[in-house]
Amino acid sequence: MRTNQTYSVSFFIRKKKKQPQLAALYVRITVNGRSMELSLKRTIPSEKWDSVKNRYKGNSEEAKIINAKIQGNHSKLLSIYDELIKEDKIITAQLVKARYLGTDQKHKSLTDL
């Protein structure tokens, strides 16, 4: 395993083609320069997105809920990265995404065994 790995998590929006005033919220996981994108299944007004802070603008209840969800996803992705380091795995963006979605080999159900 490499000892000097780079890892980052960033959030961004992608405007919808049919409704440009709305945008889908995504997260980009980057490990050693290779990235993977994942939809957070949230749609927000595109003018409310702060691209510098990667957060929803404002102090409304909706803004607090969406920003809390963003922070929760960020924390979960960082803890997954830490778990993979402790397991001494070769870490890739695809592996972090699979662990986040629950589709990696670690999480097998009793029927799979």
CA distance 13 to 25: 5
User: The pTM is what?
Assistant: 0.82
Rounded average pLDDT over 78-92: 92
In this predicted model, what pLDDT tens digit does every residue of 19-67 receive, in sequence order? 989 999 999 999 999 999 999 999 999 999 999 999 999 999 999 999 9
> What six digits make up the tokens of 81?
């990265």
Give the pLDDT of residue 1: 47
CA distance 70 to 74: 6
CA distance 20 to 23: 7
pLDDT band at 5 (very low <50, low <70, confident <90, very high): confident
The helix (run of H) or strand (run of E) holding residue 63 is helix 61-86
Local structure of 45: helix, strand or coil: strand
Q: What are phi and psi of 107, to 5 degrees?
A: -100, 80
